[in-house]
């Protein structure tokens, strides 16, 4: 079951309204290191907004137990650093571990335990049908069982908190359907325990193009595709300056079409309305050149990213703030998870439960 996330509504400037039918939100964040502006506009800002609406019922987990299921990407030497970097970046954009529940999956042991319980009743055939599994397994010579179990652990992540809402991209919808099935099956065998979580998609699914001209900015396409959220402005300019624009604009005097220009897509994310109007008109009439247009874009990029980068630098200078925030989050997560695991063990009939 999938619904669209409506635009946030505010009852006042300080207390945004909750969305009917959504009581507790869960999101898993991959520890893939420094995020790019696609992650920021497509996901991270949304976490902050939902956090303002949901407070302690917004549960965000850096899913480091999931990361090693992909042996091609997993690196023992960098896992902890990438996890830290992802936490720092999310805190820098405004995710407040005192307001929401923000923690690292491996620090709350109940995830692995509930994941195991769910493997006991999930047919292997259902897991083998998962599109992501087929894609990833197809690239491997030897397939770790954990890769097959990935969506079972994901179901445990969500259901451990009895979350009913999971904001996800299109590619995760099939996994959420499976989580619903797992919840249903458990409830059928052991009595009503878990809600059936629903996937919610952003109303206008936002896709930030790569600075190399690729349709989607993506870490796996490498640094030439991405603009890092924490990348120095000079380095961003070094990527924006040569970035492709409308190929029909060969000379400065040729009019262009902003609708097919990635720089204009970026303007829509970073620039104010007046600048967007101005560059739109200036491009179509050849009133401004591409370099001028890109310089104006840099003004918006600096305005948006400078405060985030300043907060990130401050957090980096005080790593205990990041680690302490995560530990606080893990305590809160455990406080929710422990009684749920007690309930599960008891319903499944374990000795002493």
Which of 39, 83, 107, 271 touches ligand ATP by CB under 6 A? 39
Q: Which residues contact 304 (CB under 8 A, 6 or more apart)?
A: 270
The stretch among 7-15, 33-41, 62-70, 267-275 that binds ligand ATP (CB under 6 A) is 33-41
Q: Which residues pair with 191 in a beta bridge?
A: none
**39 or 106: whose CB is closer to ligand ATP?**
39
The DSSP symbol for 10 reads B
Alpha-carbon span 225 to 130, nearest angstrom: 28
Alpha-carbon span 65 to 79, nearest angstrom: 10
Tell me if 32 contacts ligand ATP by CB under 6 A. yes
**Residue 32, annotated as binding a ligand:** yes
Alpha-carbon span 21 to 3, nearest angstrom: 10
Q: How far is the CB of 43 from ligand ATP (least distance, A)?
A: 3
**Residue 220, annotated as binding a ligand:** yes
**206 or 308: whose CB is closer to ligand ATP?**
206
Closest CA to 184 of 174, 194, 171: 194
Please indicate whether residue 99 is annotated as part of the active site: no
Sign, Cα dihedral of 159, 160, 161, 162: positive
Tell me if 21 contacts ligand ATP by CB under 6 A. no
Q: How far is the CB of 131 from ligand ATP (least distance, A)?
A: 14
**184 or 216: whose CB is closer to ligand ATP?**
216
Please indicate whether residue 221 is annotated as part of the active site: no
The stretch among 32-40, 78-86, 183-191, 227-235 that binds ligand ATP (CB under 6 A) is 32-40
**Residue 56, annotated as binding a ligand:** no
Beta strands in the chain (DSSP E): 2-5, 25-29, 58-62, 101-104, 165-167, 198-202
Q: List, as own/partner pairs, every contact residues 303-307 make where C-beta atoms lie below 8 angstroms and the sequence separation is at least 24, other chains included.
A: 303/270, 304/270, 305/229, 305/230, 305/233, 305/236, 306/233
> Binding site residues, as ranges?
30-32, 38-39, 157, 169-171, 208, 216-220
| Residues taking part in catalysis | 136, 216, 219
> Binding site residues for L-tryptophan, as ranges?
157
> What are the residues binding ligand ATP (CB under 6 A)?
30, 32, 38-39, 41-43, 169, 206-208, 216-220
């Amino acid at each position: 079951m999938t619904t669209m996330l409506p635009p946030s509504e505010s009852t006042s400037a300080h207390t945004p309204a909750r969305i009917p039918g959504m009581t507790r939100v869960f999101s898993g964040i991959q520890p893939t290191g420094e995020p790019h502006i696609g992650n920021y506009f497509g996901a991270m800002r949304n976490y902050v907004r939902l956090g303002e609406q949901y407070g302690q019922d917004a549960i965000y987990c850096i899913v480091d137990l999931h990361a090693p299921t992909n042996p091609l990407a997993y690196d023992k030497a960098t896992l902890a650093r990438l996890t830290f970097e992802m936490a720092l970046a999310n805190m820098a954009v405004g995710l407040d571990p005192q307001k929401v529940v923000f923690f690292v999956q491996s620090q709350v042991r109940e995830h692995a335990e509930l994941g195991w319980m769910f493997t006991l009743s999930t047919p292997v055939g259902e897991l083998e049908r998962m599109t992501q599994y087929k894609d990833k397994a197809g690239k491997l010579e030897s397939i770790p069982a954990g890769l097959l179990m990935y969506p079972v652990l994901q179901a445990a992540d969500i259901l451990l908190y009895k979350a009913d809402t999971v904001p996800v991209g299109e590619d995760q919808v099939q996994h959420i359907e499976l989580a619903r099935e797992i919840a249903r099956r458990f409830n059928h065998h052991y009595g009503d325990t878990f809600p059936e979580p629903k996937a919610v998609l952003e109303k206008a699914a936002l896709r930030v193009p790569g600075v190399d001209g690729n349709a989607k900015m993506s870490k796996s396409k490498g640094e030439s595709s991405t603009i890092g959220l924490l990348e120095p402005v000079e380095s961003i300019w070094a990527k924006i300056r040569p970035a492709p624009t409308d190929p029909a604009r060969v000379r400065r005097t040729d009019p262009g079409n902003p609708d097919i220009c990635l720089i204009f897509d970026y303007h829509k994310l970073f620039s104010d309305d007046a600048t967007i109007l101005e560059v739109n008109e200036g491009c179509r009439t050849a009133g401004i050149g591409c370099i001028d247009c890109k310089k104006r874009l840099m003004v918006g990029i600096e305005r948006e990213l400078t405060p985030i980068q300043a907060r990130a630098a401050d957090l980096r200078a005080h790593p205990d703030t990041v680690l302490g925030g995560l530990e606080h989050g893990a305590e809160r997560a455990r406080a929710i998870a422990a009684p749920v695991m007690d309930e599960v063990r008891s319903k499944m009939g374990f000795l002493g439960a």
